[in-house]
Amino acid sequence: MNEPVCTSGELDARGLWCPEPVMMLHNRVRDMQPSEEVVVLATDPSTLRDIARFCEFLGHSLLESAEEGGEFRFRIRKKAVG
């Protein structure tokens, strides 16, 4: 049986440009519990690269990355402790 996913909601970074979306994500993740998830909405194409690198560098999981109509959606899970 799967455990329910705790979520930290959405982070709306639409209309913001590099480096603001990643800075906002960094602040949100810092306040999240391990294994908690957040959905980021963005319109800056550089977030495709920047958010993937952010997750890889800090050990968080990029669970979803999608684009529709010029809007990007990312689902990120904060790394577990240990």
User: Hey, where are the domains in the chain?
Assistant: 7-77
Q: CB under 8 Å to 69, separation ≥6 — which residues?
A: none
pLDDT per position as a tens digit, 29-60: 999 999 999 999 999 999 999 999 999 999 99
| C-alpha separations of 66 from 2, 50, 61, 72, 80 in Å | 24, 14, 15, 6, 24
pLDDT at 39: 97
* 6 in active site: no
What percentage of residues in the chain have a pLDDT greater than 90?
88
9 — alpha (psi -120 to 50), left (phi > 0) or beta?
Answer: left
pLDDT at 21 over 80: yes
- Residue from 18, 39, 48, 62 carrying the catalytic annotation: 18
CATH number of the structural domain 7-77: 3.30.110.40
